[in-house]
Amino acid sequence: MEEKLNVLFVIIESHWLLASLGFILFHVLRQVLFIPVVIICIAGGALFGGFVGSIYSILGLTLSSLFFYFLYKQMPGVFGKVLTMKEKLFGNRGNLSVGQVTVLRLIPFIHFHLLSLCLIETTKTFSKYAKASFLTNIPLAIIYTVFGQFIKEFSPTAMLVVLIGLSILLLIMRQKVVVMKWEQFFQKEKQYKRG
């Protein structure tokens, strides 16, 4: 196993540009192969180091988010399952703020593109979405690339403390105003009177 890793490092050193582009594009392919974001970011830190691996992961995750945006806009019906999951988790009345999405992206078991969908609904235009995606991917890439190897060694107590801390951050960064459309309010009222 150690020999294979040495061969991999030699290939990366001799073909730096090709390895870098391959890693960035692997982030886009990751969603098709059902590989979690965390694993790719940790691999980037191991292969390229913390600083360069973080830059590559930020670029790859942003490309992945932009690819999702274009797929969603071209085929919104295909993403019915993601919309259903979003409504079950967050409801259909409130949108998550960019800060909340940033914090939620740090939690490994929350679906990456579910949060991208929340950003689409919050930002409304492509340029705002691209900027928000870039900003929300920065902490995710840096933390898991630089400190990823230590996260897997956390005790259950330490992991619980991290999750509680992230939950508190999520509450602090929530959107303070919920906008409800007129039709939604009266539709809920009618349903309530029937029941």
pLDDT tens for 175-184 read 666 666 667 6
**Degrees, nearest 5: CA angle 62-84-61:** 10
Confidence of residue 134 (pLDDT cuts 50, 70, 90): very high
**What percentage of the chain's residues is helix, strand, coil (to nearest 5)?**
80, 0, 20
What pLDDT is stored for residue 108 in this prediction? 78
What pLDDT is stored for residue 56 in this prediction? 92
* CB-neighbour burial class of residue 58 (10 A; exposed 0-12, middle 13-18, buried 19+): buried
Q: What is the pLDDT of residues 138-167, one digit of tens each?
A: 999 998 888 655 655 667 787 778 768 877
pTM for the full predicted model: 0.69
Is residue 136 within 8 Å of residue 98, measured between CB atoms?
yes
- 59 has pLDDT over 90: yes
Residue-averaged pLDDT of the chain: 78
Q: What is the pLDDT of residues 80-123, one digit of tens each?
A: 777 777 777 777 656 788 888 888 898 877 888 888 888 888 88
What pLDDT is stored for residue 191 in this prediction? 53
What pLDDT is stored for residue 114 in this prediction? 83
Domains of the chain, residue spans: 2-178
**What is the average pLDDT across 16-40?**
83
- 31 has pLDDT over 90: no
Locate 180 and state its tokens.
Answer: 């409800």
* Closest alpha carbon to 22 in 12, 14, 13: 12
